[in-house]
């Protein structure tokens, strides 16, 4: 429980004084280096006394598009005196999860959305005067959505019917069968069939087993878990309890990023409510089964979303992904069988159990199965969270639901920064060989009809398998760019995110993510000429491949992708930054 101990020290001192750490080490018999390892890793912890007011400005994707740099500069100008005296500090932070209301910021760990620089200055003055107003609550914001959602079978607050039914007559195999029939996939990115994981943990041998809900949603552009936690907390909890009862797990946790302070409070309240309803804790629904659930607030960092890193963090270590095998399903938290799934995966379980797997599978369109919740942000009229049948085209989402883009569409990031950028018209030469055989016939027809050289991304069907068939990745965070955007700059922005969030465990990601940023920054600073770019381009491709082939986890595997895709698809944007001086900078010039 080092993390909790450190939090208590920080609460008393606002940072972690070395003397306190030494006392903690003494008291608990923990080596000092273990405390340092943890305290220095997580952004939540301060090892130096912080200024009276610390302002964080979100730096990523939607906030970058909305001008976080300008906001930060304006803030710095407005608070110049206080910053000079060290009373106030402002710095960039990685995605704060309010991409639908950029620019997001926090003042002394209180979160504010879509505030101007002037408003941030005034909030900061309030904070200095010790009268900082309440945070901008997600629950009081009417975000854009296509309600009602099929995911929630309840008209009002959930009544845990699926849990009650299960407790009354546990039929584990039936639940597994329904999940199998539904073809519900993990919504965290990898898309592992849910029934497989549940079954693995159910069948794994162990005196103790655990369920962990991964609510560390920290990927830029992704905020759908936030809305599920805020407005449908019972679904998440019920899914976790169902998994717990089915697998015979002994404890469950909902691991929530600490920037979702509101959602942590909501979830805590929901757990208490479920307990009072007899749906959580001991003797569930009058049965002999028990399953306690707690919230585990993350000490922070995108990498905690990687499930084995998350488990490391829960075990009081640096959130560094594990080498696999072994898998978490057999050797997870405290080396016990552990089911780690995304918020949304758990949240679909109650409806699937109540209405049947076929009901969910049938909700897909265009030959796809099931539904999914997407967050969409960037240059779009109505950014928000939408529940869509899998197979819905991007055109339907973007134009019919989101009201289109303010200017013509230029690029689309189908998985936050992780999938790189796609141009509005994807050259078919960039698609894997034989794509026509795997793609749906009508899509192939459309490509042919438009000349056969390009694929219109608006025709893409939003579905994991459809994307995979085209050699593409799709996540839950869709970010849209219109033709006013410089994709080279946006790519560097994404590269910086990965560099900042790399845990540093393995070489390809630790050094590779930095080298990509360096090359990108060189480009943006107009320090490259055509010749220098010609040297760097194969290097970027090699690095992209080596990182994908040898990194331990998904972060490192994709970290070079945004920049690589900018070079591949947005040549004009890249060329615009080249300087005309043919003398240019040769490789290795900074050595």
Partner 1 sequence: MSQGVSAIARDIDDPYDGLVLPEEDGLFARDIDGQLVRMDKVTAADFDKQITITIDGRAVTVPKAVPLTDSQGKILRDSEGRLIPRATTIFDAATKAYADEPDGNPIPILCHQEHLEPAGVCRVCCVEIAKVKRGSMQRERKLLPACHHRVEETMEVQTIRSPDLAARRRVDANVRTLVNLLAADHLPADWHDHLPSNELGRLTKRLDALAVEARDLERQAEEAAHSGQPIDEAGIEAKWPLTGNQPFAARGLERGQDHSSPRIDVDHDQCILCDRCVRACTDVKQNFVIGRSDKGYATHVAFDLDDPMGTSSCVSCGECMISCPTGALVFKGIVAEALATEGEERLTADELATYPIFASVPPKFLAWNGGAVTRRRFAPGDVICREGEYASTAFLIVRGRVGVSIGGERADGRGSGGLKAFVRTATRWLQGGRAGGASTGVERRSTVHIDGGRSLVLEGGRWVDEMTSEDVIFGEMSCLNHYPRSATVVALEPTELLEIHKNVLHMLQRNEASRRILDEAYRGRSLARELRQLSMFQGLSEADRSRCAEMLRDRAEIVRVDRGQPIFHQGDVADDFFKVRLGFVKVSQRLGDQDRTIDYLGPGRSFGEIGLVTALVDFGESLSAAGASRARRTATCTALDDVELVRIRGGDFRALIREFPAARDHLVAEAQRLLDRDRDRSSQADKNLEGFLENGLYSAQKLLVLDLESCTRCDECTRACSDTHDGITRLIREGLRFENFLVASSCRSCLDPYCLVGCPVDAIHRKPRENHPGAVEIVIENHCIGCGLCSTNCPYGNISMHTESRSGEADRRLATTCDLCRDLVGPNDDPSCVYACPHDAAFRMSGQDLLKIVATRRGAQA
Interface of this chain with partner 1, residues 494 to 523, rule: CB under 8 A: 499-508, 510-515, 518-519
Nearest in space to 237 (alpha carbons), one of 197, 193, 276? 276
Distance from C-alpha of 123 to C-alpha of 274, rounded to nearest angstrom: 37
Q: 166: which residues sit within 8 A by CB, 6+ positions away?
A: 175, 242, 245, 246, 353
Peptide bond into 579 cis (omega under 30): no
What span, in angstroms and rounded, lies between the C-alpha atoms of 545 and 512? 11
Question: Is 34 a binder of partner 1 (CB under 8 A)?
Answer: yes
Stretch that binds partner 1, among 94-102, 261-269, 380-388, 443-451 (CB under 8 A): 261-269
Query: Interface with partner 1 includes 35 (CB under 8 A)?
Result: yes
β 105-107/110-112 pair status:
antiparallel
Q: 86 burial class (0-12, 13-18, 19+ CB within 10 angstroms)?
A: exposed
Range 401-440, binding partner 1 (CB under 8 A): none
Contact positions with partner 1 (CB under 8 A) in 11-30: 11, 18, 21-22, 27-30
Residues 530-559 close enough to bind partner 1 by CB under 8 A: 535, 539, 542-543, 545-546, 548-552, 557
Footprint of partner 1 on 100-119 (CB under 8 A) = 109-110
Closer residue to partner 1, CB minimum distance, 127 or 352: 127
CB atoms within 10 A of CB 383: 24
Of residues 279-318, those binding partner 1 (CB under 8 A): 295, 297, 301, 315-318
- Contact flag: residue 492 with partner 1 (CB under 8 A): no
CA distance linking residue 110 with residue 133, whole number of Å? 9
H or E element in which residue 443 lies: helix 441-449
Task: Report how many residues bind partner 1 under the rule CB under 8 A.
Answer: 88
What minimum distance in Å lies between the beta carbon of 392 and partner 1?
A: 29
Q: Is residue 52 part of the contact set for partner 1 (CB under 8 A)? A: no
CB of 289 to partner 1, least distance (A): 23
Nearer to partner 1, 266 or 343 (CB): 266
Contact characters 130-169, partner 1, x per CB under 8 A = ----xx-x-xx-----------------------------
Secondary structure (DSSP) of 73-111: HHHHHHTHHHHHTTSEEEEEES--S-TTSSSPEEETTEE
- 36 interacts with partner 1 by CB under 8 A: yes
Q: Does 589 bind partner 1 (CB under 8 A)?
A: yes
Question: Is residue 590 a contact residue for partner 1 (CB under 8 A)?
Answer: yes
Q: How far is the CB of 511 from partner 1 (least distance, A)?
A: 4
Dihedral sign (CA 370, 373, 379, 380): positive
Identified binder of partner 1 from the candidate list 69, 74, 265, 430, rule CB under 8 A? 265
Site residues (CB under 8 A) for partner 1, limited to 215-254? none
Largest interatomic CA distance in the chain = 80
Nearest approach, Cβ of residue 57 and partner 1 (Å): 19
* Binding of residue 572 to partner 1 (CB under 8 A): no
Sketch the per residue contact string, 381 through 400, with partner 1: x for CB under 8 A, - otherwise: --------------------
326 binds partner 1 (CB under 8 A): yes
Region binding partner 1 by CB under 8 A among candidate stretches 31-39, 210-218, 237-245, 372-380: 31-39
Of 121-129, 232-240, 319-327, 371-379, which part binds partner 1 (CB under 8 A)?
Answer: 319-327
With beta carbons less than 8 A apart as the criterion, state whether 399 and 500 touch: no
Q: How far apart are CA 16 and CA 47, in angstroms?
A: 5
Kindly state the tokens that stand for 46: 């301060």
Q: How far is CA 287 from the centre of its chain?
A: 37
Nearest-approach distance from CB 220 to partner 1, in angstroms: 16
Q: Which is nearer to partner 1, 34 or 164 (CB)?
A: 34
Q: Rule CB under 8 A: say whether 261 interacts with partner 1.
A: yes
574 DSSP 8-state letter? H
Closest CA to 181 of 32, 64, 353, 13: 353
Using CA atoms, how far apart are residues 47 and 38, in angstroms rounded to an integer? 11
- Could you tell me which of 351, 337, 341, 303 has the C-alpha nearest to residue 95? 303
Q: Which is nearer to partner 1, 140 or 288 (CB)?
A: 140
Q: Count the neighbouring beta carbons within 10 Å of the beta carbon of residue 408.
A: 11
Is 440 strand, coil or helix?
Answer: coil
Task: Tell me the closest approach of the beta carbon of residue 527 to partner 1, in angstroms.
Answer: 11
- Among residues 14, 37, 67, 367, which is the contact residue for partner 1, using CB under 8 A? 37
């Amino acid at each position: 429980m080092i993390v909790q101990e450190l939090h208590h020290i920080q609460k008393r001192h606002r940072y972690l004084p070395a003397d306190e750490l030494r006392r903690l080490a003494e008291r608990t018999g923990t080596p000092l280096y273990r405390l340092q390892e943890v305290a220095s890793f997580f952004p939540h912890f301060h090892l130096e006394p912080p200024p009276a007011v610390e302002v964080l400005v979100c730096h990523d994707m939607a906030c970058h598009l909305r001008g976080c740099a300008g906001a930060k500069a304006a803030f710095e100008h407005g608070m110049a005196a206080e910053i000079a005296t060290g009373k106030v500090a402002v710095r960039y932070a990685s995605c704060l999860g309010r991409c639908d209301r950029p620019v997001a910021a926090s003042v002394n760990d209180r979160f504010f959305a879509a505030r101007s620089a002037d408003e941030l200055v005034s909030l900061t003055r309030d904070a200095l005067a010790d009268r900082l107003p309440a945070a901008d609550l997600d629950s009081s914001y009417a975000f854009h959505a296509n309600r009602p959602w099929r995911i929630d079978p309840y008209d009002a607050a959930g009544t845990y019917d699926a849990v009650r039914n299960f407790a009354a007559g546990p039929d584990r195999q039936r639940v597994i069968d329904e999940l199998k029939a539904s073809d519900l996939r993990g919504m965290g990115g990898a898309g592992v069939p849910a029934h497989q994981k549940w079954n693995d943990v159910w069948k794994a041998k162990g005196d103790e087993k655990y369920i962990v809900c991964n609510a560390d949603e920290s990927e830029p552009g992704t905020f759908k878990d936030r809305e599920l936690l805020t407005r449908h907390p019972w679904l998440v909890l019920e899914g976790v309890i169902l998994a717990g009862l089915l697998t015979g797990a002994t404890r469950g946790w909902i691991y929530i990023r600490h920037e979702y302070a509101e959602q942590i409070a909501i979830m805590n309240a929901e757990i208490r409510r479920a307990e009072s309803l007899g749906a959580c804790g001991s003797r569930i629904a009058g049965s002999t089964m028990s399953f306690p659930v707690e919230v585990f607030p993350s000490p922070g960092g995108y990498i905690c979303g990687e499930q084995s890193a998350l488990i490391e963090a829960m075990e009081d270590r640096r959130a560094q992904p594990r080498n696999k095998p072994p898998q978490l399903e057999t050797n997870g938290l405290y080396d016990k069988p552990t089911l780690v799934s995304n918020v949304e995966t758990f949240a679909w379980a109650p409806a699937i159990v109540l209405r049947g797997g076929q009901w969910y599978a049938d909700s897909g369109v265009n030959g796809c199965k099931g539904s999914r919740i997407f967050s969409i942000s960037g240059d779009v009229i109505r950014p928000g969270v939408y529940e869509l049948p899998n197979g819905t085209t991007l055109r339907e989402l973007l134009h019919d639901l989101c009201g289109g883009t303010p200017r013509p569409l230029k690029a689309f990031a189908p998985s936050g920064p992780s999938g790189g950028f796609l141009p509005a018209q994807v050259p078919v030469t960039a698609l894997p060989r034989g794509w026509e055989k795997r793609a749906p016939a009508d899509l192939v027809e459309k490509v042919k009809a438009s000349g056969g050289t390009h694929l219109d991304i608006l025709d893409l069907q939003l579905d994991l398998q459809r994307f995979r068939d085209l050699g593409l990745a799709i996540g839950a965070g869709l970010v849209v760019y219109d033709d006013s955007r410089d994709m080279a700059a946006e790519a560097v922005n994404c590269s910086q995110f990965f560099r900042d969030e790399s845990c540093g465990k393995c070489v390809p990601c630790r050094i590779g993510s930095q080298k990509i940023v360096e090359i990108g920054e060189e480009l943006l600073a107009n320090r490259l000429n055509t010749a220098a770019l010609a040297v760097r381009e194969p290097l970027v491709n090699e690095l992209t491949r080596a990182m994908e082939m040898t990194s331990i986890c998904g972060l490192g595997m994709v970290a070079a992708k945004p920049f690589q895709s900018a070079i591949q698809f947005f040549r004009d944007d890249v060329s615009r930054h080249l300087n005309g001086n043919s003398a240019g900078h040769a490789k290795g010039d900074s050595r």
